[in-house]
Amino acid sequence: MDVSEKAMRKHLPTFACLVAAVTAICVLPSAVETFTLVEFTVYAIMAIFSLSLAFAWGYGGILCFGQAAFFGAGAYAYAIGVLNVGESTVAMLLAVAVPMLLATVLGYFMFFGRISDVYLGVVTLTVTLILYNLANSTSGDQYRIGAAVLGGFNGMPSLPTLNVPGSPGRLLDSVQMFQVCVVCLASVYIGLRALLSAHFGRVVVAVRENELRANLLGYDARKYKLGAFVISGGIAGLAGGLFANWGAFTSPTVFGLAQSAQAIIWVIVGGVGTLLGPVIGCIAIQWLTAYLGTIGWVNPNLVLGLILVLFVLTIPKGLAPILFMPFQWLLRQRSQVGNHEGRIP
Protein backbone atom coordinates (compact mmCIF):
# COMPACT_ATOMS: atom_id res chain seq x y z
CA MET A 1 0.00 0.00 0.00
CA ASP A 2 1.62 3.28 -1.11
CA VAL A 3 1.51 6.61 0.70
CA SER A 4 -1.26 8.06 -1.45
CA GLU A 5 -3.53 5.07 -0.78
CA LYS A 6 -2.90 5.31 2.96
CA ALA A 7 -3.77 9.00 2.87
CA MET A 8 -6.91 8.23 0.88
CA ARG A 9 -8.01 5.60 3.38
CA LYS A 10 -7.34 7.99 6.26
CA HIS A 11 -9.12 11.03 4.86
CA LEU A 12 -11.96 9.37 2.93
CA PRO A 13 -14.42 9.29 5.90
CA THR A 14 -13.74 12.93 6.72
CA PHE A 15 -14.19 13.96 3.10
CA ALA A 16 -17.43 11.96 2.89
CA CYS A 17 -18.67 13.64 6.08
CA LEU A 18 -17.96 17.12 4.69
CA VAL A 19 -19.68 16.33 1.39
CA ALA A 20 -22.72 14.93 3.19
CA ALA A 21 -22.93 17.92 5.55
CA VAL A 22 -22.62 20.52 2.78
CA THR A 23 -25.17 18.66 0.66
CA ALA A 24 -27.63 18.44 3.56
CA ILE A 25 -27.26 22.13 4.42
CA CYS A 26 -27.63 23.33 0.84
CA VAL A 27 -30.18 20.88 -0.59
CA LEU A 28 -32.55 19.64 2.11
CA PRO A 29 -34.07 22.99 3.25
CA SER A 30 -35.44 23.62 -0.24
CA ALA A 31 -36.16 19.99 -1.09
CA VAL A 32 -38.34 18.90 1.84
CA GLU A 33 -41.27 20.30 3.81
CA THR A 34 -40.78 22.12 7.11
CA PHE A 35 -42.11 19.19 9.14
CA THR A 36 -39.65 16.81 7.49
CA LEU A 37 -36.80 19.26 8.03
CA VAL A 38 -37.65 19.48 11.73
CA GLU A 39 -37.61 15.68 11.85
CA PHE A 40 -34.19 15.61 10.17
CA THR A 41 -33.00 18.11 12.78
CA VAL A 42 -33.68 15.71 15.64
CA TYR A 43 -31.95 12.95 13.64
CA ALA A 44 -28.80 15.08 13.56
CA ILE A 45 -29.08 15.86 17.28
CA MET A 46 -29.42 12.21 18.23
CA ALA A 47 -26.54 11.33 15.91
CA ILE A 48 -24.37 13.64 18.03
CA PHE A 49 -25.62 11.75 21.09
CA SER A 50 -24.70 8.44 19.46
CA LEU A 51 -21.18 9.75 18.76
CA SER A 52 -20.69 10.42 22.47
CA LEU A 53 -21.21 6.74 23.29
CA ALA A 54 -19.43 5.57 20.12
CA PHE A 55 -16.28 7.34 21.31
CA ALA A 56 -16.46 6.23 24.95
CA TRP A 57 -17.38 2.61 24.18
CA GLY A 58 -15.83 1.93 20.80
CA TYR A 59 -12.49 3.64 21.40
CA GLY A 60 -12.25 4.10 25.17
CA GLY A 61 -13.67 0.69 26.08
CA ILE A 62 -16.11 2.37 28.50
CA LEU A 63 -19.60 0.91 28.16
CA CYS A 64 -21.76 3.52 29.87
CA PHE A 65 -25.29 2.32 30.55
CA GLY A 66 -26.25 5.79 31.77
CA GLN A 67 -25.26 8.04 28.88
CA ALA A 68 -28.65 9.72 29.28
CA ALA A 69 -27.38 11.25 32.53
CA PHE A 70 -25.13 13.59 30.54
CA PHE A 71 -27.71 14.11 27.80
CA GLY A 72 -30.31 15.13 30.37
CA ALA A 73 -27.85 17.25 32.33
CA GLY A 74 -27.11 19.17 29.13
CA ALA A 75 -30.82 19.70 28.44
CA TYR A 76 -31.55 20.98 31.96
CA ALA A 77 -28.38 23.08 32.07
CA TYR A 78 -29.46 24.82 28.86
CA ALA A 79 -33.02 25.32 30.13
CA ILE A 80 -31.92 26.80 33.46
CA GLY A 81 -29.21 28.90 31.85
CA VAL A 82 -31.34 30.41 29.10
CA LEU A 83 -34.20 31.25 31.47
CA ASN A 84 -31.83 33.05 33.83
CA VAL A 85 -29.48 34.69 31.34
CA GLY A 86 -32.02 35.33 28.56
CA GLU A 87 -29.48 34.48 25.86
CA SER A 88 -28.66 31.09 24.37
CA THR A 89 -24.88 31.36 23.88
CA VAL A 90 -24.01 31.12 27.58
CA ALA A 91 -26.73 28.51 28.05
CA MET A 92 -25.24 26.27 25.35
CA LEU A 93 -21.82 26.58 26.97
CA LEU A 94 -23.40 25.47 30.23
CA ALA A 95 -25.04 22.55 28.40
CA VAL A 96 -21.55 21.29 27.57
CA ALA A 97 -19.73 22.33 30.75
CA VAL A 98 -22.17 20.90 33.33
CA PRO A 99 -22.16 17.34 31.91
CA MET A 100 -18.37 17.49 31.62
CA LEU A 101 -18.17 18.46 35.29
CA LEU A 102 -20.56 15.64 36.20
CA ALA A 103 -18.46 13.19 34.15
CA THR A 104 -15.28 14.46 35.83
CA VAL A 105 -16.60 13.88 39.35
CA LEU A 106 -18.24 10.56 38.52
CA GLY A 107 -15.33 9.31 36.43
CA TYR A 108 -12.75 10.24 39.06
CA PHE A 109 -14.32 7.97 41.65
CA MET A 110 -14.93 5.17 39.13
CA PHE A 111 -11.56 5.08 37.38
CA PHE A 112 -9.29 6.05 40.26
CA GLY A 113 -11.30 3.75 42.51
CA ARG A 114 -10.43 0.85 40.18
CA ILE A 115 -14.09 -0.11 39.67
CA SER A 116 -14.50 -3.01 37.24
CA ASP A 117 -16.31 -2.60 33.93
CA VAL A 118 -19.42 -4.39 35.20
CA TYR A 119 -19.80 -2.14 38.22
CA LEU A 120 -19.03 0.89 36.05
CA GLY A 121 -22.11 0.11 33.99
CA VAL A 122 -24.17 -0.35 37.14
CA VAL A 123 -22.96 2.94 38.65
CA THR A 124 -23.71 4.99 35.53
CA LEU A 125 -27.14 3.37 35.26
CA THR A 126 -27.85 4.15 38.91
CA VAL A 127 -26.82 7.79 38.48
CA THR A 128 -29.26 8.10 35.58
CA LEU A 129 -32.09 6.70 37.71
CA ILE A 130 -31.21 9.06 40.56
CA LEU A 131 -31.27 12.09 38.27
CA TYR A 132 -34.55 10.95 36.71
CA ASN A 133 -36.26 10.60 40.09
CA LEU A 134 -34.70 13.84 41.35
CA ALA A 135 -35.98 15.81 38.34
CA ASN A 136 -39.35 14.08 38.60
CA SER A 137 -39.84 15.14 42.22
CA THR A 138 -39.38 18.89 41.75
CA SER A 139 -43.02 19.89 41.26
CA GLY A 140 -44.07 23.19 42.76
CA ASP A 141 -42.91 26.80 42.57
CA GLN A 142 -40.50 26.28 45.45
CA TYR A 143 -38.29 24.15 43.21
CA ARG A 144 -36.56 26.77 41.13
CA ILE A 145 -33.05 27.90 40.26
CA GLY A 146 -33.22 31.64 39.88
CA ALA A 147 -35.94 32.40 37.34
CA ALA A 148 -36.17 28.78 36.16
CA VAL A 149 -38.98 26.71 37.66
CA LEU A 150 -38.01 23.04 37.32
CA GLY A 151 -41.60 21.84 36.93
CA GLY A 152 -41.16 18.24 38.09
CA PHE A 153 -42.79 15.63 35.87
CA ASN A 154 -44.44 18.43 33.84
CA GLY A 155 -41.03 19.58 32.66
CA MET A 156 -39.93 23.06 31.59
CA PRO A 157 -41.99 24.33 28.62
CA SER A 158 -41.67 27.40 26.39
CA LEU A 159 -37.89 27.56 26.50
CA PRO A 160 -36.22 30.33 24.49
CA THR A 161 -34.47 28.69 21.56
CA LEU A 162 -31.13 29.45 19.92
CA ASN A 163 -30.54 33.04 18.96
CA VAL A 164 -27.84 34.84 17.02
CA PRO A 165 -24.96 35.28 19.52
CA GLY A 166 -25.27 38.64 21.20
CA SER A 167 -28.77 39.28 19.84
CA PRO A 168 -31.37 37.62 22.12
CA GLY A 169 -34.24 38.89 20.02
CA ARG A 170 -33.05 37.24 16.79
CA LEU A 171 -34.08 33.61 17.15
CA LEU A 172 -33.05 31.02 14.60
CA ASP A 173 -35.79 29.65 12.35
CA SER A 174 -36.27 25.96 11.53
CA VAL A 175 -33.89 26.06 8.54
CA GLN A 176 -31.14 27.76 10.49
CA MET A 177 -31.63 25.38 13.41
CA PHE A 178 -31.23 22.41 11.06
CA GLN A 179 -28.07 23.90 9.59
CA VAL A 180 -26.59 24.55 13.04
CA CYS A 181 -27.27 20.95 14.11
CA VAL A 182 -25.69 19.52 10.94
CA VAL A 183 -22.63 21.74 11.42
CA CYS A 184 -22.38 20.58 15.05
CA LEU A 185 -22.66 16.93 13.96
CA ALA A 186 -19.96 17.32 11.31
CA SER A 187 -17.73 19.26 13.71
CA VAL A 188 -18.03 16.61 16.44
CA TYR A 189 -17.30 13.82 13.96
CA ILE A 190 -14.27 15.54 12.44
CA GLY A 191 -13.07 16.63 15.87
CA LEU A 192 -13.21 13.07 17.20
CA ARG A 193 -11.35 11.74 14.16
CA ALA A 194 -8.64 14.36 14.69
CA LEU A 195 -8.49 13.50 18.39
CA LEU A 196 -8.13 9.79 17.65
CA SER A 197 -5.28 10.56 15.23
CA ALA A 198 -3.48 12.57 17.92
CA HIS A 199 -1.31 11.18 20.71
CA PHE A 200 -4.14 11.26 23.25
CA GLY A 201 -6.47 9.26 21.04
CA ARG A 202 -3.85 6.65 20.22
CA VAL A 203 -3.15 6.13 23.92
CA VAL A 204 -6.88 5.85 24.66
CA VAL A 205 -7.16 3.07 22.08
CA ALA A 206 -4.04 1.41 23.49
CA VAL A 207 -5.58 1.46 26.97
CA ARG A 208 -8.72 -0.15 25.56
CA GLU A 209 -6.66 -2.90 23.93
CA ASN A 210 -4.45 -3.65 26.93
CA GLU A 211 -4.65 -1.47 30.01
CA LEU A 212 -1.86 -3.29 31.86
CA ARG A 213 0.56 -2.90 28.96
CA ALA A 214 -0.25 0.83 28.71
CA ASN A 215 0.50 1.24 32.41
CA LEU A 216 3.78 -0.63 32.05
CA LEU A 217 4.75 1.71 29.20
CA GLY A 218 4.38 4.65 31.57
CA TYR A 219 0.87 5.88 30.76
CA ASP A 220 -1.61 6.36 33.58
CA ALA A 221 -4.60 4.55 32.10
CA ARG A 222 -6.94 6.10 34.67
CA LYS A 223 -6.24 9.63 33.43
CA TYR A 224 -6.78 8.72 29.79
CA LYS A 225 -10.02 6.87 30.53
CA LEU A 226 -11.20 9.82 32.59
CA GLY A 227 -10.35 12.21 29.75
CA ALA A 228 -12.28 10.10 27.23
CA PHE A 229 -15.22 9.87 29.63
CA VAL A 230 -15.31 13.64 30.15
CA ILE A 231 -15.17 14.33 26.40
CA SER A 232 -17.97 11.83 25.87
CA GLY A 233 -20.06 13.55 28.55
CA GLY A 234 -19.52 16.96 26.94
CA ILE A 235 -20.67 15.67 23.53
CA ALA A 236 -23.77 14.11 25.10
CA GLY A 237 -24.45 17.42 26.86
CA LEU A 238 -24.19 19.29 23.56
CA ALA A 239 -26.80 16.94 22.12
CA GLY A 240 -29.00 17.46 25.17
CA GLY A 241 -28.82 21.24 24.85
CA LEU A 242 -29.71 21.09 21.17
CA PHE A 243 -32.57 18.68 21.96
CA ALA A 244 -34.01 21.14 24.47
CA ASN A 245 -33.84 23.76 21.70
CA TRP A 246 -35.48 21.48 19.17
CA GLY A 247 -38.67 21.09 21.20
CA ALA A 248 -38.36 24.30 23.29
CA PHE A 249 -39.06 21.91 26.17
CA THR A 250 -37.33 19.52 28.51
CA SER A 251 -38.62 17.07 31.11
CA PRO A 252 -37.33 14.20 33.29
CA THR A 253 -37.79 11.81 30.36
CA VAL A 254 -34.43 13.01 29.00
CA PHE A 255 -32.90 11.00 31.87
CA GLY A 256 -35.00 7.95 31.00
CA LEU A 257 -33.56 4.50 30.49
CA ALA A 258 -34.96 4.52 26.96
CA GLN A 259 -32.49 7.26 25.97
CA SER A 260 -29.49 5.24 27.15
CA ALA A 261 -30.83 2.03 25.64
CA GLN A 262 -31.39 3.67 22.27
CA ALA A 263 -27.82 4.98 22.20
CA ILE A 264 -26.49 1.47 22.84
CA ILE A 265 -28.68 0.06 20.05
CA TRP A 266 -27.52 2.76 17.62
CA VAL A 267 -23.85 1.98 18.29
CA ILE A 268 -24.34 -1.79 18.01
CA VAL A 269 -26.31 -1.48 14.78
CA GLY A 270 -23.80 0.95 13.26
CA GLY A 271 -20.71 -0.84 14.49
CA VAL A 272 -18.73 -0.61 17.72
CA GLY A 273 -15.29 0.82 17.09
CA THR A 274 -16.38 3.17 14.32
CA LEU A 275 -17.67 6.75 14.27
CA LEU A 276 -19.56 6.90 11.00
CA GLY A 277 -21.35 3.60 11.69
CA PRO A 278 -23.22 4.78 14.82
CA VAL A 279 -24.30 7.94 12.97
CA ILE A 280 -25.77 5.81 10.17
CA GLY A 281 -27.29 3.40 12.68
CA CYS A 282 -28.84 6.25 14.66
CA ILE A 283 -30.45 7.88 11.64
CA ALA A 284 -31.69 4.56 10.26
CA ILE A 285 -33.21 3.43 13.57
CA GLN A 286 -34.86 6.81 14.18
CA TRP A 287 -36.38 6.79 10.70
CA LEU A 288 -37.62 3.23 11.20
CA THR A 289 -39.09 4.10 14.60
CA ALA A 290 -40.89 7.13 13.17
CA TYR A 291 -42.23 5.05 10.29
CA LEU A 292 -43.46 2.29 12.59
CA GLY A 293 -45.17 4.94 14.72
CA THR A 294 -47.29 5.93 11.73
CA ILE A 295 -48.48 2.35 11.22
CA GLY A 296 -50.08 2.15 14.64
CA TRP A 297 -50.41 -1.60 15.15
CA VAL A 298 -46.65 -2.25 15.46
CA ASN A 299 -44.85 -1.66 18.75
CA PRO A 300 -41.61 0.23 17.89
CA ASN A 301 -39.94 -0.86 21.16
CA LEU A 302 -40.54 -4.52 20.30
CA VAL A 303 -39.01 -3.99 16.86
CA LEU A 304 -35.97 -2.25 18.40
CA GLY A 305 -35.48 -5.22 20.71
CA LEU A 306 -35.65 -7.63 17.79
CA ILE A 307 -33.17 -5.53 15.81
CA LEU A 308 -30.75 -5.55 18.75
CA VAL A 309 -30.92 -9.33 19.10
CA LEU A 310 -30.59 -9.80 15.33
CA PHE A 311 -27.47 -7.67 15.06
CA VAL A 312 -25.82 -9.13 18.15
CA LEU A 313 -26.33 -12.69 16.90
CA THR A 314 -25.83 -12.31 13.14
CA ILE A 315 -24.00 -9.03 12.43
CA PRO A 316 -21.94 -8.33 15.58
CA LYS A 317 -19.67 -5.87 13.75
CA GLY A 318 -22.61 -3.72 12.66
CA LEU A 319 -23.43 -2.01 9.39
CA ALA A 320 -20.21 -0.05 8.97
CA PRO A 321 -18.02 -2.90 7.59
CA ILE A 322 -20.77 -3.89 5.14
CA LEU A 323 -21.32 -0.33 3.91
CA PHE A 324 -17.59 0.32 3.53
CA MET A 325 -16.91 -2.88 1.57
CA PRO A 326 -17.41 -1.28 -1.91
CA PHE A 327 -14.95 1.52 -1.09
CA GLN A 328 -12.40 -0.97 0.25
CA TRP A 329 -12.80 -3.08 -2.88
CA LEU A 330 -12.19 -0.04 -5.10
CA LEU A 331 -9.07 0.87 -3.11
CA ARG A 332 -7.75 -2.70 -3.42
CA GLN A 333 -8.38 -2.68 -7.16
CA ARG A 334 -6.60 0.65 -7.49
CA SER A 335 -3.67 -0.70 -5.46
CA GLN A 336 -3.41 -3.85 -7.61
CA VAL A 337 -3.49 -1.81 -10.83
CA GLY A 338 -0.80 0.49 -9.49
CA ASN A 339 1.42 -2.44 -8.47
CA HIS A 340 0.95 -4.08 -11.87
CA GLU A 341 1.87 -0.89 -13.72
CA GLY A 342 4.91 -0.40 -11.51
CA ARG A 343 6.44 -3.77 -12.37
CA ILE A 344 9.48 -3.83 -14.62
CA PRO A 345 8.64 -5.85 -17.81
Q: pLDDT tens, 312-326?
A: 788 878 887 777 666
What is the average pLDDT value for the chain, to the nearest integer? Answer: 89
Task: Calculate ∠ Cα 192-216-225, nearest 5°.
Answer: 30
| pLDDT confidence of residue 206 | 96
Residue 300 confidence class, pLDDT cut points 50, 70, 90: confident
Determine which of 93-107, 220-234, 259-273, 297-311 has the lowest per-residue pLDDT on average: 297-311
Would 125 be classed as within a structural domain? yes
Strand pairing category for 148-149 and 163-164: unpaired
| pLDDT confidence of residue 178 | 96
| pLDDT confidence of residue 224 | 97
Q: Are 268 and 308 spatial neighbours (Cβ–Cβ below 8 Å)?
A: yes
Would 285 be classed as within a structural domain? no
pLDDT surpasses 80 at 335: no
pLDDT surpasses 80 at 2: no
Would 104 be classed as within a structural domain? yes
State how many domains the chain has: 1
Non-local (6+) Cβ contacts of 137 within 8 A are: 152
pLDDT digits (tens, 9 = 90+) for 27-43: 999 999 999 999 999 99
Question: Is this model's pTM higher than 0.85 or not?
Answer: yes
Would 341 be classed as within a structural domain? no
Would 57 be classed as within a structural domain? yes
Determine the distance from the C-alpha atom of residue 39 to the mean position of all C-alpha atoms in its chain, rounded to a whole number: 17
Would 331 be classed as within a structural domain? no
Range of the domain at 50: 14-256
| pLDDT confidence of residue 306 | 86
Q: What single letter denotes the amino acid at residue 151?
A: G
Non-local (6+) Cβ contacts of 48 within 8 A are: 181, 184, 185, 188, 235, 238, 239, 242
Residue 128 confidence class, pLDDT cut points 50, 70, 90: very high
Would 268 be classed as within a structural domain? no
Residue 220 confidence class, pLDDT cut points 50, 70, 90: very high
| pLDDT confidence of residue 342 | 46
pLDDT surpasses 80 at 243: yes
